[in-house]
Amino acid sequence: MTRQAERVRAILRCAIAVTLLTGCATSGFEATPPGPGVPRISDLRIEPTVVERGEQATLRFDFQDTDGDIMDVYLGLRSEVTDFTLATGLQPVVLSRGRYFGQTEGTAEESISISFERRSAPLTFEERTDPRQTQQQMGGIRVYVVFVVDEKGNVSNSLRARVTVR
């Protein structure tokens, strides 16, 4: 296969991945319609936006909850793209429990460790030509989803943040 054909295939795979990223379900948690006592979050950011595999990153977001009964902060992985292999629909996990209980508004700050699972995905042309390059050494893009759940089971809106892993 020529270098130009390989490049066209790579661009096509990337376009497919972007299309899939915009249409995949987040999790089994459905947001509660806005109303009194339903928590809301805004302004999600992840710092730094580019990390080495295994490094720490900090998620920050603003929250409001008139009842002050936020119990859980959930972190989900909406998608992961590595070597043009897309993984989606991974279930969210509790990132922190009870940390913001009693607060009606503020900025949440949570540290996470960024890592990629070893996958048996196909290698790109450049990687196939360099035998020293392995799947374990590669990075990619992770799209995280954050939402909160209050004591009554109300689920906030969810927000996404993207991090590039090298």
CATH fold for domain 3-165: Immunoglobulin-like (2.60.40)
pLDDT of res. 19? 42
pLDDT for 10 equals 60
* pLDDT value for 71: 94
Structure tokens at 75: 């972190």
Tell how strand 50-51 and strand 159-165 pair up.
parallel
User: What are the structural domain ranges in the chain?
Assistant: 3-165
pLDDT of residue 27: 47
Is residue 93 within 8 A of residue 76, CB to CB? The reply is yes
Quote the pLDDT of residue 80.
Answer: 65
Provide the pLDDT for residue 111.
92
Residue ranges of the chain with pLDDT lower than 50?
15-27, 118-125, 127-136
Question: Which residue, 88, 129, 131, 107, is CA-closest to 47?
Answer: 107
